[in-house]
Chain A
Amino acid sequence: MKLILLYSLRNLIARRLTTTLTTCGMALVVFVFATVLMLSEGLKQTLVSTGEYNNVVVIRKGSNVDVQSAVEKQKALLIETLPEIAIDEDGNRLFAKEVIVLIVMPKRETKSPANIVIRGIDEKSVRLRPQVRLIEGRLPNFGLNEVIVGKSISERFEGALLGDKLRFAMRDWTVVGIFDAGNRGYNSEIWGDVNQMMQAFKRPVYSSVIFRLKDSKDFDVVKSKIEKDPRISLEAKRETRYYEEQSEMMSKFLKILGLSLTTIFSIGAIIGAMITMYSAVANRQSEIGTLRALGFQKRTVLGAFLFESLLLGVIGGIIGIIMSSFTQYITISTMNWQTFSQLTFSFTLSLEIVIQSMLFAVFMGLIGGMLPAIVASRKNIVSSLRSA
């Protein structure tokens, strides 16, 4: 049946204008569909890849994010004694007590204010995040009002370049380094000595503690100890899971909003495909009659028209995905509604999104072409031949 498929393909080429217009409509819908998924994926990947699987974050029970959490100093000391915590080559525990505070800073270009995460870090904090790389300057000296800033902050916010002084919590903080954490959430943070931060912000408690497991399999044991010991009674999560949860709400919102829009657009595209295919059926009545008279079955005619419509979807899908792939060069900076902090991420195209978008395009083609193809296959041979 290669010839019949060729017949469908050549008919699309013969009707270049309508084919182009219909595929453009479908391509636009696939573009919107794919970019929404890419946005959600970019957000998810940024937050999820922020975490390390072997790291455990401990926060107050019921507080989903560290910015809402409080960990008393005594509890932090008790956790530090857990034997499951990994020890580095110097014999020190890979354990850090941290404080998280939000401040407002103006953006360099628009001057509009945005929330920024200040992370008070411990000596082991950087070691616990191997994905963080110092690209300019040095690490802050502990005991001094020095900070290092994430690459996104340095690029987008005022007073965040190397050597600049940032003013917050009634103090001036010198930017002594700029770090890059790749496509991760840390890039939108400012880090300084945890003790200096606690004094400056008058915080008597830490926000969270983080440590590396000696053995990944010990997680359940550690979790049980932290959550069930009445002296501690905090919540322990793998760091990857912790950040995944942070992305869930916004990712879900983006998906719902985007997919609702796409559904509305797709109805338009399906109607477009339907009109194109109905006009193809109307213009080719005598061809349909001829094929049927020659002995081709109804299902062959149905298949030929359906294939034609599917091709419209596939071509639209490919164009839409190619168009959406260019958005990978765009970086979005927005508020993470769970932490109320600024978050920078990019559109991320994955194989899964490509497959989903293609299936969506094929679905549009299928739905758009189904009725016209059924009409074509049910045409009366004699009346079809009369239309020649």
Chain B
Amino acid sequence: MKEPVVSIKNICKAYQKGSETIPVIHDITFDIIDGDFLSLMGPSGSGKTTLLNLIAGIDKPDCGEIIVSGINITRLSESELSRWRAINVGFIFQFYNLIPVLTAFENVELPLLLSPLSKSQRREHVISALRVVDLLDRIDHKPKELSGGQQQRVAIARAIVTDPAIIVADEPTGDLDRKSATDVLNLMTRLNDEFGKTIIMVTHDMRAAKRAKTIKYLDKGYLNDSPANTDL
């Protein structure tokens, strides 16, 4: 039995809208084992992205604990959390979130600037990551010179370049055509199968979710192993 890389214990989260408190996550407890490919599904507003943000350390829960690779990230200060994210989390966003004025190479190099690697070591890592996503021929291209699928592959290279403990992906195929989406999903499956990366993916797309080893469903802030609504 593999060890859990992420342990979530009784977390809850609510947002304040004026004087009204809107609960988003209700007392969720679960583990994600090392090397898992987990899909979080659920209708809009069910709390999927919020849960993902909490696991990735870009948001903090109101209660409970999140332990990633033995570190209780809910106890970290903001700057400690930033340092932690730089080492432990790779991000893949729906709209790629590449920096438009930087080339593919520079975008992938960004997270490595926070590491103690030398320039030549950084170059090696970036080249390796771009090789994995098969974009070595687009190294000097800026995002606007790449297709949506290629941009998402650059974003994946950026997510893996630091060799993080977990990769979080928020609707990674949401802005892609069918072919590009398939390419991206193939790539993510390969990362999980060949490189043993732990991936946590939020998606609406059942076709994408089926690539995962585990699927969990969120509904109104509650986590289930099966969908509450059979339409999903």
**Which residues of A pack against B, CB within 8 Å?**
1, 3-4, 6-7, 10-11, 13-14, 286-287, 289-298, 381-382, 385, 388
Contact = CB atoms under 8 A, between A and B. Distances in A.
Interface of B: 53, 56, 58-59, 78-79, 82-87, 91, 93-95, 97, 99-102, 106, 109-111, 113-114, 158
Given A10-B102, A382-B59, A297 B95 contact: no
Contacts of A296: 82, 86, 114
Given A293-B56, A382-B53, A388-B93, A3 B82 contact: no
B11 to A, nearest CB: 15
Contact of B99 (A1, A7, A13): A7
Contact of A294 (B53, B59, B86, B100): B86
A3 B97 contact: no
Contacts of B58: 292-293, 381-382, 385
Contacts of A388: 93-95, 97
Given A7-B102, A287-B100, 6 more contacts: A3-B102, A3-B106, A7-B101, A287-B99, A385-B58, A388-B97
Contacts of A3: 102, 106, 109-110, 113
Contact of B79 (A4, A286, A294, A297): A297
Contacts of B93: 290, 385, 388
B227 to A, nearest CB: 25
B31 to A, nearest CB: 24
Nearest to A299: B79
B102 A294 contact: no
Give the interface SS of chain B, mostly helix, strand, loop or mixed.
helix
Nearest to B113: A3
Q: Which of A287, A291, A294, A296 has the most CB of B within 10 A?
A: A294
Contacts of A382: 53, 58-59
29 contacts: A1-B113, A4-B113, A7-B102, A10-B101, A13-B101, A14-B100, A14-B101, A286-B95, A287-B97, A287-B99, A289-B97, A291-B110, A292-B82, A293-B56, A293-B58, A293-B85, A293-B91, A294-B86, A294-B110, A294-B114, A295-B85, A296-B86, A298-B78, A298-B82, A381-B58, A382-B59, A385-B58, A388-B94, A388-B95
Nearest to B122: A3
Query: Which 3 residue pairs across A and B have the least CB separation, nearest first?
Result: A295-B86, A10-B101, A290-B97
Contacts of B114: 294-296
